[in-house]
Amino acid sequence: MGDSAWIERRKGTAVRPQRIVCLSAESADWLARIGAWDRVVGVTAFYRPAIGLAPKPRVGGFASANVDAVLSLGPDLVILFSDVQAGVAARLIAAGCTVFATNPRTLSEIEHTLAWLGWLVGEHHASEAWLRSFREQMSARAPLPRRIRVYFEEWDNPPIAGIRWISEMIERAGGRDVFADLAQHRQASARTVTWQAIKEADPEVILASWCGKPTIVEQILSRPGWDQITAVRRGAVYAVDPEFFLQPGYRLVEGLELLRRILESAAIESCGSRELGPAM
């Protein structure tokens, strides 16, 4: 069913979910922004709420969500993200839960997902205002003197290059994803690269956010032969916050702004070792 047809059907739906569990951090963040936080009864442990938000029970991690804990909250809607949570979704459906599972891979798909969520929880008017903001702030920045070569590392062993929305963010910020061809693949396993391939690509900036565990820049810097890579020589290797890059929601806005600042610095060959954003 297309977006418009799905939305038209939702317009005629009077009942709004009252007990929502968000098993992905970006959905919890989005519902808080659009005014549905009072109906959220549980969240993933990976969600860090904004100051002032009432705390909600945590029901486990991302891949390790506690199904029994979710069921104990009596949800009338559970929101999930990605094929990683497919098993959790299946168990919840088997237990009689209503679930909404998404699997966006591009910025366009993320925008559509946020729109669907707004209609799904009956907050489409507030959602539309936030979507306009998202669209405006995620627009392409003015060109830099030249595009900076960027490698984004989503996992370290084996190295996995960034998902497509990250590749798109790199392009919009004024860079060039050195593995843009791999970013087209929807499965992470298809984006596996070798240390040698990364060396040959010679990125000028390396961003890393190892999904679900702390990113250790020192381990990257100590890889054999990597002292020859431009990013390493210039100190342009960064551990970046997963909330800004790996969670497909509104906070990508902050990621794009951070990325632009990094690329502006690289464009004038700024030196020095930096770590921007807390590693998880």
The chain-wide mean pLDDT, for the chain, equals: 91
CATH code of 148-267, in short, is 3.40.50.1980
> Where is pLDDT greater, at 65 or 125?
125
Res 62: pLDDT? 81
Q: Is the pLDDT of residue 19 over 80?
A: yes
Query: Given pLDDT bands bounded at 50, 70 and 90, which one contains residue 9?
Result: low
The stretch 199-206 carries a mean pLDDT of 97
pLDDT band, residue 230 (cuts 50/70/90): very high
Indicate the domain borders of the chain.
3-137, 148-267
Q: 148 pLDDT exceeds 90?
A: yes
Q: pLDDT band for position 41 (50/70/90)?
A: very high
Q: pLDDT band at residue 212, thresholds of 50, 70 and 90?
A: confident
Fold equal for 3-137 and 148-267: yes
- Map tokens 């100590």 to a residue: 222
Distance CA 23, CA 245 (A): 18
Tell me which architecture the domain covering 3-137 has in CATH.
3-Layer(aba) Sandwich (3.40)
pLDDT at 6 over 80: no
Each residue of 79-108: pLDDT tens digit? 999 988 999 999 999 999 999 999 999 999
Kindly tell me if the per-residue pLDDT of 10 is higher than 60: no
Q: What percent of the chain is modeled with pLDDT above 70?
A: 91
- pLDDT score recorded for residue 272: 40
